[in-house]
Structure 1
Amino acid sequence: MFEQQRENIQLHAKQLATEALQKSEPSAWFEVLYAEAQGDAKLIPWAKLAPHPYLQDWLTNHQPFASGKKALVIGCGLGDDAQALANLGFEVTAFDISPTAVAWCKQRFPNSTVNYVVADLLAIPPQWHLGFDFVFECRNIQSLPLNVRSWVISSVASVVAPGGTLLLITRIRDTEAEPSGPPWPLSDSELKQFESLGLQQVEKLEFLESELLEVKHVRIEYHLSFG
């Protein structure tokens, strides 16, 4: 019964995304989904109410120097990843396109030091350009269609400060053929766009995430050199 309920939730999210895409508003469905949930996190298919385990693993094993450093969490959802970074001492900005999600974060973490804001990955505030020492992007790119992929990848890369780190977690695909989605896993050539934008791959880890099926993911650490 639980598996059927989870599958229904995922199918509903996919339906909302498809409808938004048909209206040429590929990111509009996130607010619809969060608003419909009415505070029930079980209705948000990606909400685990805990930091992503592969973010937590990276933080544990790399122990980044966080004091005085600025971090950005892209598409922060319900805020757990942002809180994990703030707990280490980062000065964290976390954004989501959904005002409901951002309000939900503030309600869950009323005493948080995180600056939760509403913003659009396709219209990054200019003051964020090259502005963050650590940037976390988890499965937002894959949620947007291929016709905006280069734009989205450029937006993500644009906020990493010289000397900074981008940690990326995403589904990947083994072919350059366009996948059916959402989500739309990333191809090798799409991942290489980060390097064409000046980011150097430092570490790459592939892993499988098993829920309804085995799905291939990757965690990549990128670094932007000074000058």
Structure 2
Amino acid sequence: MDRDIRTTEDVLRLLDSLFAPDADRWTDDAGSWWDGFYADRSKPVPFFVDKPDENLVAYLDRGLITPGRALDLGCGPGRNALHLASLGFEVDAVDLSPAAIAWAEDRAREAGAWIRFHRGDAFALTGTALNGPYDLIYDSGCFHHLPPHRRISYLALLDQRLAPGGHFALTCFAAGGMGSELGDQEFYRQARLHGGLAYTPESLRWVFSDLEEVELRRMHDEPAQSPCFGEPFLWTALFRRNGRP
């Protein structure tokens, strides 16, 4: 007889277990799934390119965000972390996959960039690993792989790590473009995440309603020769935390 539920985290972990093996894509034990995904660096995966997101470049060019301390959630091969470091940001970058971190470290060495890379679950890394506060928390493609209940952990991370006056920027699957449009309850009935959750502008505004919206739009479709990455099946969003820096 199991009577293991005592804390909110116990409940979250129980709900995590409902999504096995889908949970292997985003929990702290996800290294094997994502390592296989990143094993062949020559695969024609859109975000394998060594280019920063077009919206991130635009935020910086327009002065919406300025250099400071940055956290890149789900950094993958490090393309956005590298861009931030090249502009003077002090960057922490975290990913579940050792293969992704190794690739990002290779790119950083080639570019002569100094970035603190961390392998693990951003919700569990504490202390000196991801100690914040951060002026910018950037997420390109991590949030839409989380099951609904882990939005609680995600918002707690923002609350704990994002500095007053700091910015949170996100790219995620857009409803009608990519990702599953099932309602939250249905994911639990089916015990599958179907490759990722699609969001509407209204749902993003609701989830992040404690933050001030700066901009929310579709990502621009960037041609192959562009110096930036851009796919129109993604939303891009920039939010600001109220308070003085």
- The two structures have a TM-score, normalised by structure 2, of 0.69
Report if aligned partners of 2:38, 2:100 keep a CA contact under 8 Å in 1: no
Answering whether residue 183 of structure 2 is matched by residue 177 of structure 1, we say yes
How many angstroms apart in 1 are the aligned matches of 2:236 and 2:78? 19
State how far apart, in whole Å, the 2-side matches of 1:36 and 1:190 are.
27
Question: What per-residue deviation string (whole Å, max 9, x for no partner) do you get for residues 31-82 of structure 1?
Answer: 433346435242656322211222222222226331xx21111111001100
In 2, Cα distance between the equivalents of 1:53 and 1:183? 22
Q: What is the aligned-residue RMSD (CA, Å)?
A: 3.1
Q: Which runs of 4+ in 1 moved over 6 A?
A: none
The equivalent of 2:20 in structure 1 is: 22
Q: Alignment partner of 1:86: what SS?
A: helix
Shift of 1:98: 1.0
* 1:203 and 2:215 matched: yes
- Identity of paired residues, percent? 22
Structure 1: gaps spanning 5 or more residues: 1-19
User: Corresponding residue for 1:148?
Assistant: 150
How much has 1:160 moved relative to structure 2?
1.0
Match of 1:192 in 2: 206
- The alpha-carbon distance between structure 1 residues 173 and 158, as it changes in their structure 2 partners (threshold 3 A), is farther
Equivalent position of 1:108 in the other structure: 107
| 1:38 corresponding residue in structure 2 | 39
Q: When the two structures are superposed, what TM-score results if normalisation uses the length of structure 1?
A: 0.74
Q: Could you report, residue by residue, the CA deviation over 1:83-124 in whole angstroms, capped at 9, with x for unpaired residues?
A: 110111111111111122112211222132111111313324
Deviation at 1:132, TM superposition (A): 0.2
SS in 2 for 1:117: strand
Contact 1:138 1:169 in 2 (8 A): yes
CA–CA distance in structure 2, aligned partners of residues 185 and 156 of structure 1: 21
- Could you tell me whether the CA contact under 8 Å between 1:172 and 1:217 is conserved in 2? yes
Any conservation in 2 of the 1:204–1:221 contact (CA below 8 Å)?
A: yes
| Separation in 1, partners of 2:40, 2:215 | 37
Q: Which position in structure 2 is the counterpart of 1:225?
A: 242
Contact 1:96 1:117 (8 Å CA) reproduced = yes
Q: How many Å separate the matches in 2 of 1:35 and 1:118?
A: 16
| Deviating more after overlay: 113-122 vs 38-47 | 38-47
Amino acid at match of 1:96: D
Higher relative contact order, chain-length normalized (CA < 8 Å, sep 6+): 2
Aligned length: 202
Preserved CA contact (<8 Å) 2:173 2:235: yes
CA contact (8 A) 1:26 1:145 kept: no
Q: Secondary structure at the match of 2:208?
A: helix
Whether the 8 Å CA contact 2:140–2:171 is kept in 1: the answer is yes
